[in-house]
Amino acid sequence: MTVWFITGASRGLGLEIARAALAAGDRVVATARDADSARRALPADQDGLLVLPLDVTDQAAAEAAAARALERFGRIDVLVNNAGYGVAGAVEETSDEEARSLFDTNVFGLLNVTRAVLPTLRAQRRGHLVNIGSVGGFSQGAGSGIYGASKFAVEGITEALHAELSGLGIAVTVVEPGQFRTDFLDPASLRQAARTIDDYAGTAGARRTQFADVSGHQLGDPAKAGRAVVALTRAQHPPLRLPLGQDSLERIEAKLAQVAQEIAAWRELASSTGHGPAPTAPALTAPALTESAQTGPARTTEGGRA
């Protein structure tokens, strides 16, 4: 039986992951800034459920919540860093205060909770760290650049953790959802930059309008996304990245094709900058692929974690 610690579990993907884990017979520590909302949304008679208030920007609160989880269930098997929100607006339109507030939750909040839970996972020599990123953290366009930057940071942090925790029995995955029919595009989760600049009306401004038009009509089913994350944690060799949704797959594949095309077109100039054929100092090498990245699709094991 798996013990989950989930942030941002009062709505959206965090709530659906909590529901899917409980339905699978697992135990769940569901944390949220508004714990009452999480209690109302989750089954009230579940012995395997602990709902806790948590503002992820508070390191001490994160450590206290992790301690409560251990008190109740004795261990933590899966940490899901899901808490976060978005900001819509051009990069120039987004103020310093708006950008820093976003990073405080989406990046520094994730780091706070990770620091609070990782000592337990390391001591156990097992577990799974799941960071909820976004396809916008892999491929970004006009109108949500600062939000995308926070999710690009999540990608980088996840890659580093994947390498650092290798050999310690801890899997690390960043989930890259596309558009799912949650309230993410509603004002509760997607804030608008206070400033607008006319020059961006056709780019970032058009994207703001698109967000409003799409809200409530996204093709992705969040309940299926929740079940997919539970399936991910049952995998024998979990991937470093898990895109969710056909739109996410298509955006990632389009960017990879664009990057390959640019490399081919600019390879000669890019490779012309060395001292000569015999470098005087050893070069840094690219990190080697881990076993899970080399072996391809994950194989699931019946009845729980490997």
Is pLDDT of 278 > 90?
no
Domain count, the chain: 1
Q: How confident is the model at residue 190 (pLDDT cuts 50, 70, 90)?
A: confident
Q: What's the pLDDT score for residue 53?
A: 97
Is residue 51 classed exposed, middle or buried when 0-12, 13-18 and 19+ CB atoms within 10 A define those classes? Answer: buried
User: 276 in a domain, yes or no?
Assistant: yes
Q: How confident is the model at residue 208 (pLDDT cuts 50, 70, 90)?
A: confident
CA distance 103 to 144: 13
The backbone torsions φ and ψ at residue 148, rounded to the nearest 5 degrees and listed phi first, read -60, -40
* Residues 264-273, mean pLDDT to the nearest whole number: 94
Write down the mean pLDDT value for the chain.
Answer: 88
The backbone torsions φ and ψ at residue 124, rounded to the nearest 5 degrees and listed phi first, read -75, -20
| Cβ 105 vs Cβ 57: under 8 Å | yes
Model confidence, pTM? 0.87
Distance separating the N- and C-terminal Cα atoms of the chain: 12
Helix 110-124 and helix 59-73, axial crossing angle in degrees, nearest 10:
40
Q: How confident is the model at residue 217 (pLDDT cuts 50, 70, 90)?
A: low
Helices (H) and strands (E) in the chain, counts: 10, 9
Q: What's the pLDDT score for residue 205?
A: 78
* Residues 174-189, mean pLDDT to the nearest whole number: 74
User: 110 in a domain, yes or no?
Assistant: yes
User: 302 in a domain, yes or no?
Assistant: no
| Cβ 74 vs Cβ 5: under 8 Å | no
User: 300 in a domain, yes or no?
Assistant: no
Contacts of 141 (CB under 8 A, 6+ apart): 207
The catalytic position among 4, 147, 180, 200 is 147
User: 46 in a domain, yes or no?
Assistant: yes
User: 164 in a domain, yes or no?
Assistant: yes
* Residues 172-200, mean pLDDT to the nearest whole number: 80
Structure tokens at 221: 């089913």
Q: CB-side exposure of 250: number of CA atoms within 13 Å?
A: 5
User: 218 in a domain, yes or no?
Assistant: yes
The backbone torsions φ and ψ at residue 204, rounded to the nearest 5 degrees and listed phi first, read -65, -35
Structure tokens at 63: 């450590």
Is pLDDT of 3 > 60?
yes
Is pLDDT of 149 > 60?
yes
Check residue 235 and report its DSSP letter: B
Structure tokens at 44: 């009230």
Check residue 244 and report its DSSP letter: E
User: 301 in a domain, yes or no?
Assistant: no
Is residue 204 classed exposed, middle or buried when 0-12, 13-18 and 19+ CB atoms within 10 A define those classes? Answer: buried
CA distance 173 to 128: 8
Q: What's the pLDDT score for residue 60?
A: 98
CA distance 230 to 137: 22
pLDDT in tens, 53-86: 999 999 999 999 999 999 999 999 999 999 999 9
Active site residue 147: yes
Q: What's the pLDDT score for residue 292?
A: 46
Is pLDDT of 19 > 90?
yes
Contacts of 166 (CB under 8 A, 6+ apart): 290
Check residue 55 and report its DSSP letter: -
- Helix (H/G/I), strand (E/B), else coil: 201: coil
Range of the domain at 288: 3-294
* Residues 265-288, mean pLDDT to the nearest whole number: 75
Q: Return the CATH number at 94.
A: 3.40.50.720
Is pLDDT of 176 > 60?
yes
Angle at the Cα of 233 from the Cα atoms of 227 and 234, rounded to 5 degrees = 90
